[in-house]
Chains A and B, each alone.
Chain A
Amino acid sequence: MARRVQIPTNNSALIAMIADEDTITGFLLAGVGNVDIRRKTNYLIVDNKTTVKQIEDAFKEFTTRDDIGIVLISQFVANMIRFLVDSYNSPVPAILEIPSKDHPYDPANDSVLSRVRYLFNTESVAGDRR
């Protein structure tokens, strides 16, 4: 069965960020920040006052915009909206979970790795070989 996903080529796609202040400051220094004419930014700073709803709304907005190629999200923030992140299936924008200062990267929580983890389950390998 042929199945084709159309992905428009984009020569200047943005990198969106949902992370803590220091991470966003650093990436803004690297020139990633974008503010459109409606004053909408391509980043959300997450602090102790940010609600889960705000994070969810930002994630949904960034993953539906067609001018964004990559969404960076701190892993501790991704854990707050884990269901939403794990159910995301499109190739573009790519969702990448990154470490933060206070929360090192944990491969067990990464959505890409958890999706492919079952391949390493010995029972499923033994079952296929019989």
Chain B
Amino acid sequence: MEEIESDQLQSASHEEAKFKKEDEEGEDECTLQFLDSLDAYLTLVDSLSSSLRQGWFDLASARQSMGHTRISSKLFDHKAHSASTTVKVTELHIDNLSDGEKSIATEVEAQASTAISSDIQKERSKSSTLFGAMVSPKLRTAQVSFETALDKIVEMANARSSILTSFSQLELKKKSPS
């Protein structure tokens, strides 16, 4: 009888050790995902800063060649029009099973979408004609720099979403009893 009880105790403690190990591995995976997302976010911020700096520089050069009054917020179009560059937002569900509890985190995925490729040039010239029919080539390179910056921004939004999701998963794991 005592032997049976001892066997049962041993198998219970093995099971407990196994769950504890799986729990730790899950936490390690969350931690890695969190750190990867954080690294991606910081790298993207750096890359965005670089694109923006190039854009501002080209804009300043365009302003110098075209004149300050020709590139100004006073020329912005205030008539009703829709944006040609938008973002697609989708919801991703991530289920986590933790000690019998189920938590659902949502991650938001964003993808930039512009008009179909054959219309991109048309949209680009439409945006730049805000400042007149004949514009400096520097204005066009500024436009490209800001379009590149937009791509970085969408990736940053996804990285942000991933950071917050993995962070909340880590918090849940820390709070759940081991």
> Which residues of A are in contact with B by a Cβ distance under 8 Å?
1-5, 7, 9-15, 21-37, 39, 41-42, 45, 69-70, 72, 91-92, 94, 96, 98-99, 101, 104-105, 107, 112-113, 115-116, 119, 128
Task: State the main secondary structure of chain B at its contact with A.
Answer: helix
B84 and A25 contacting across the interface, CB-CB below 8 Å: no
* Chain B interfacial residues counted at CB < 8 A: 64
In the complex, what residues of B have CB within 8 A of residue A116's CB? 34, 38, 163-164, 167
Beyond A31-B83, A34-B82, A98-B48, whether A7 also contacts B104 by CB under 8 A is no
> How many residue pairs between the two chains, A and B, have CB atoms under 8 Å in the bound complex?
167
A15 and B163 contacting across the interface, CB-CB below 8 Å: no
Smallest CB–CB gap between A53 and chain B, Å? 20
Among A32, A42, A104, A128: residue with most chain B CB under 10 A: A32
B86 and A13 contacting across the interface, CB-CB below 8 Å: yes
Does chain A have a CB within 8 A of B8?
no
B153 and A29 contacting across the interface, CB-CB below 8 Å: no
> Which residues of B are in contact with A by a Cβ distance under 8 Å?
34, 38, 41-42, 45, 48-49, 52, 55-56, 59-60, 71, 73, 76-91, 101-104, 106-108, 110, 113-114, 123-124, 127-128, 130, 139, 142-143, 145-147, 149-150, 153-154, 156-157, 160-161, 163-164, 167, 170, 174
